[in-house]
Every structure is written in C-alpha cells, then in structure tokens.
Amino acid sequence: MTATLREATVRGQDLELTWSDGRPAATLPLMWLRDNCPASQHPQTRQRLVDTFRIDADIAVRTIALEDQGRGLRVEWAEGGHVSRFNAGFLSRLRSNPEVLPVTHRTWNRDEIADRIPSVRYDAFMRDEAVVKEFLEQLVRTGFSFVEGTPGTAEATQAVAARIAYTRQTIFGGYWDFTANLEHKDTAYTSLPIGPHTDGTYSLDAPGYQMFHCLAAECTGGENVLIDGFRIAEIMRADAPADFRLLTELAIPGQYIDEERGIHLMARRPLFRLDDTGALVQVSYNNYDRAPFALPPARQRAFYRALGTFNALCNDPALQHRRRLLPGSVLLFDNWRVLHARDAYTGYRRLAGVYLNKEDVESRLRCLRARAGEPI
C-alpha cells in the first residue's frame, strides 16, 4: 500500500513528516528538500540542476501543504517563490544507502538448497521479461540460479548473458570458451582440481556475477561445487567471532601474474567486506592468488588461524552444493557471495561463460521492479 502523509510540520530548519499508517515520523532538513526538489532536476537526465552550494543554510518556507489526500507534499519557498512537490511514496522509501538493492537473502547449506534449486526455462526466459525478473530475484536472494534447457552452443550462452546485461571485458576477454589448454596462467585452464574461491581477488572491483555453461563433458570427474559464503559468515560470526572480526579488518592482497603478456594485477580487501552499517556485502577469497604479505608475528598467526577456520567451513560437505554441469544448464552466480570449486577430471571438457558487473545486473532488476510497481 502506498504511504500517505497525515501531517507536515516545520520545526526550525527541519520538516517533520507524520504518516497516516502510524509508521515512525521522519524528519528532513529544509535544505535537503530544496536540494532534492524534483522540479530542479533535468526532465530527461534526472540530474540535479540546482546549485547546492548557493542554497541558504537558513532557507525558509512560505507555505507547506499536503496534496492528493496525503499522497503528495507541496513546499513553497520564501525566497523567489519556488515550489517543490514531493511524492509521499518517494519520501517514505528514503534510506541512507539507496544504492543497496532491497533483498532478503536466504543463506543455505547442502540440505536446505537440495529441494529448492532456483531455475527458469530457457524458452520462457528469452521471450518473457517477467521470467527474467523471476530469475534475477532468485539470483539475488539465493546467490545463484540456472537457465535450464539452453541449447548447448556458444550463441545460446551469449544470448542468455545479453538478456541480462553487457559482458564485462577482462584479461580473459569478454565471452570465454575454453578447454584445459593453459591459454591463460590460471588453474581453471587445466584439468586439475580447483578449491573453493571467488574470482578477481586481484581486481579492485571484482566481477559481480559469473556465468558458466559446460558445452561438452566427455570426461570423468569435473563435478562443480557451490558454497554460500554468507552462510559461512553467519557461522563464524556466531562460533568464531575473533576470527570473523579479523577477516573483516585485515585487507588481504591478491595478484595475477602473466609476464609474457606484461600483466601483473594486484588488489587488496578484507575477506569479509562490510558496509558502514556492519552488513556483509562481499566475500573475497582465493588462496591460489593470495600475494605474499608480512604482518607482526602474533597478527600473522591469528590470520592463519582465521583463514584456516574459513577454509575448513568451505570444505565441509554439509555446506556444499555439488552438481556436474552439463550442456543445457547455464549457471549464473554472485561472485561476491558464492564460492565455487571443481573436482579434477580426465577427458575432454569445454566450458563457456562471461562476467557481468554487479551494478549492471542490479540495474536490470531495478528497472524490472519499477515496471512492476515494486520497491527498487
């Protein structure tokens, strides 16, 4: 139900808003209201046109009025007679971190996810925007989702990605399609086992989402593994708080080196990256790519202890969803949340996929939610 205003009262340099449904009152500075006036935005670009720094710190209003039975707020300013109109629904949804997509995460372990594997069908996904929205809602809630029944071709794989967002270019290219050929200096380009990790620990902005489609699996072994890093964080926060805290504080360096191509990438961030409210926003872990770094001895020992706690949980079968990827099943997963791994294999295996930027996937979902009249 759309929020409506019951009363708006000026108190000094603030405006207090009282809601009809009894939710807590909101207080907004008058300067904020003038700075965010919808009439002072460009009608096409939605960019701010008002010069924030020319607004008087002691700005005053001439009149305040509710409109359309509380669905709107009208503010007439004392200086210049400018009028600002605000939608009550917009004011009710204000928050300090508007860039964070409203999502209720459902963390999982092996048994909890076994009977509710998120998926949609390829044909419906390609023709119906509502199915794309369903897929993305599953993705952000659970951390991964499948598009089943996808033709086992490079063209179909790329079509699934393009239905969501544009492909991210990296040192591996955009769309990648490879076998165990060591084309790049990465264990993924071999048939060796790959332990739990996230990609791009050597990137300042690690890829937000990663897509896999196995186009050929003429091999034995090669089972894929997914682990919910947010569930591991919940466990460690409760059972190993000192280890959890250290992994939120200590920035761990990652690196990628390919001297023949003139590449040496480096970046560093905590394994558990929190936002300014203390909420977990990213899990970043790749023991293969961890660069050498030195700490005071006691701190170094504490680091190895904490890392060992995390690694043991990653390798706990009770926390792993295992599945052998085969042609027809496109997997997209949140690389800031879900760790992935793969068993060793013998034979021929061809894997294709892409990276997608975090903000582009979330942009797609915001637009689909907006069309459906849902919070963004």
Whether the per-residue pLDDT at 290 is higher than 90: the answer is: yes
For the sheet with 194-197, list strands across it: 194-197, 338-342, 224-228, 320-323
Q: Across the chain, what does the average pLDDT equal?
A: 95
Fold classification of 5-92 (topology level): NE0471 N-terminal domain-like (3.30.2020)
Confidence of residue 1 (pLDDT cuts 50, 70, 90): low
What class has domain 99-376?
alpha beta
pLDDT for the residue 204: 97
pLDDT for the residue 354: 97
Whether the per-residue pLDDT at 273 is higher than 70: the answer is: yes
Mean pLDDT confidence for 135-149 = 98
Distance of CA 112 to the CA centre of its chain: 22
Whether the per-residue pLDDT at 192 is higher than 70: the answer is: yes
Helices (H), 75-164: 88-92, 110-114, 122-127, 129-142, 154-162
Listed in order, the ranges of the chain carrying CATH 3.60.130.10 are 99-376
Lowest-confidence pick of 126-130, 183-187, 237-241, 278-282: 183-187
DSSP assignment of 259-287 equals GGGTEEEEEEEESEEE-TTS-EEEE---T
Whether the per-residue pLDDT at 111 is higher than 90: the answer is: yes
Mean pLDDT confidence for 95-123 = 92
pLDDT per residue as tens digits for the range 223-244: 999 999 999 999 999 999 999 9
pLDDT per residue as tens digits for the range 275-286: 999 999 999 999
Listed in order, the ranges of the chain carrying CATH 3.30.2020.30 are 5-92
pLDDT for the residue 322: 98
Q: Which DSSP symbol is given to 208?
A: S
Q: How many CB atoms lie within 10 A of CB 217?
A: 19
Mean pLDDT confidence for 128-153 = 98
pLDDT for the residue 190: 81
Whether the per-residue pLDDT at 368 is higher than 60: the answer is: yes
Mean pLDDT confidence for 109-137 = 98
pLDDT per residue as tens digits for the range 54-65: 999 999 999 999
Mean pLDDT confidence for 173-190 = 79
- Is the pTM value of this prediction over 0.95? no
pLDDT for the residue 185: 62
Torsion of CA 129, 132, 138, 144, to 10 degrees: -170
Helix (H) or strand (E) holding 306: helix 297-314
**Contact by Cβ (8 Å): 62, 78:** yes
Confidence of residue 138 (pLDDT cuts 50, 70, 90): very high
